[in-house]
């Protein structure tokens, strides 16, 4: 990063840092827009009943309630030499890519068996939602960890910009005739969509993880009951939700 005479980062250096730090959020949001924008028609095309589609989308809020607190609990204590957040970010991105591949090629994997195809697709969508929420938790925490308090508002603003870019790009991809434009990425629209989303996610996560430097946690505070208390708080929150 370039430094001016006062020892502060230059405007260009700050801009590049914000972009590198938050660009993975654009990739994440593109994956999410592909899932939410085209998942329902795809599931219906596989033979899933309309009345059951809403149960699939229960995965989003359910995974958010479970994964984001858990990722926070465990990544806060991580002593990995790669940092506290990046191992979770990379692992969640890999799980997202695997889920997208299964979603795009569900029929080919099951050999066209309708019931098995539906079940595999539903499981893949659930797995994707859990991975997305894990990734989202890691990326949000990374902004807070890396930026000083005086710049976190700007970091949050850049994250919002990346969310918008990811959404617009994802929905625009659905408008295009991708099978005709990129036939080498798949034989169906969903296959090309999931492949493109995977490639963008891999690229953006790689940029964020390579150019963002975390300070590894050298030791974990010794409190044997802390994890147990965190789990208890999580389940208490789940029980107190309105029904």
| pLDDT at residue 140, rounded to an integer | 93
State pLDDT tens for residues 60-117.
888 878 887 788 788 777 778 888 899 999 999 999 999 999 999 999 999 988 899 9
| pLDDT at residue 234, rounded to an integer | 65
pLDDT band at 10 (very low <50, low <70, confident <90, very high): confident
Q: Structural domain boundaries of the chain? A: 20-214
Which of 51 and 193 is assigned the larger pLDDT? Answer: 193
| pLDDT at residue 181, rounded to an integer | 93
| pTM of the predicted protein model | 0.86
Which of 224 and 55 is assigned the larger pLDDT? Answer: 55
State pLDDT tens for residues 173-221.
888 899 999 999 999 999 999 999 999 999 999 999 999 988 777 765 5
**What is the 3 state secondary structure string of the chain?**
CCECCCCCECHHHHHHHHHHHHHHHHHHHHHHHHHHHHHHHHHHHHCCCHHHHHHHCCHHHHHHHHHHHHHHHHHHCCCCCCCCCHHHHHHHHHHHHHHHHHHHCHHHHHCCCHHHHHHHHHHHHHHHHHHHHHHHHHHHHHHHHHCCHHHHHHHHHHHHHHHHHHHHHHHHHHHCCHHHHCHHHCCCHHHHHHHHHHHHHHHHHHHHHHHCCCCCCCCCCCCCCHHHHHHHHHHHHHHCCCC
Four-way CATH pick for 20-214: 1.20.1250.20, 3.40.50.410, 3.40.50.720, 1.10.760.10: 1.20.1250.20
| pLDDT at residue 220, rounded to an integer | 59
| pLDDT at residue 237, rounded to an integer | 59
State pLDDT tens for residues 226-241.
666 666 666 665 666 5
């Amino acid at each position: 990063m370039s430094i001016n005479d006062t020892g502060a980062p230059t405007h260009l250096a700050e801009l590049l840092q914000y972009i590198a730090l938050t660009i993975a959020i654009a990739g994440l949001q593109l994956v999410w827009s592909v899932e939410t924008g085209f998942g329902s028609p795809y599931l219906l095309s596989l033979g899933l009943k309309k009345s059951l589609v809403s149960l699939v989308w229960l995965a989003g809020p359910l995974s958010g309630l479970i994964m984001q607190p858990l990722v926070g609990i465990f990544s806060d204590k991580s002593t990995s030499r790669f940092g506290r957040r990046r191992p979770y970010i990379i692992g969640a991105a890999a799980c997202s890519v695997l889920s997208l591949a299964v979603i795009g090629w569900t029929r080919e994997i099951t050999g066209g068996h309708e019931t098995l195809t539906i079940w595999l697709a539903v499981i893949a969508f659930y797995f994707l939602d859990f991975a997305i929420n894990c990734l989202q938790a890691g990326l949000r925490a990374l902004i807070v960890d890396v930026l000083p308090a005086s710049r976190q508002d700007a970091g949050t603003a850049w994250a919002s910009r990346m969310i918008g870019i990811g959404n617009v790009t994802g929905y625009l991809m659905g408008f295009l005739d991708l099978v005709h434009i990129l036939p080498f990425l798949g034989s169906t629209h969903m296959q090309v969509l999931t492949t493109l989303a995977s490639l963008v996610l891999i690229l953006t996560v790689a940029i964020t993880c390579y150019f963002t430097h975390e300070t590894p946690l050298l030791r974990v505070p010794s409190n044997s009951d802390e994890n147990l208390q965190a789990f208890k708080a999580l389940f208490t929150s789940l029980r107190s939700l309105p029904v």
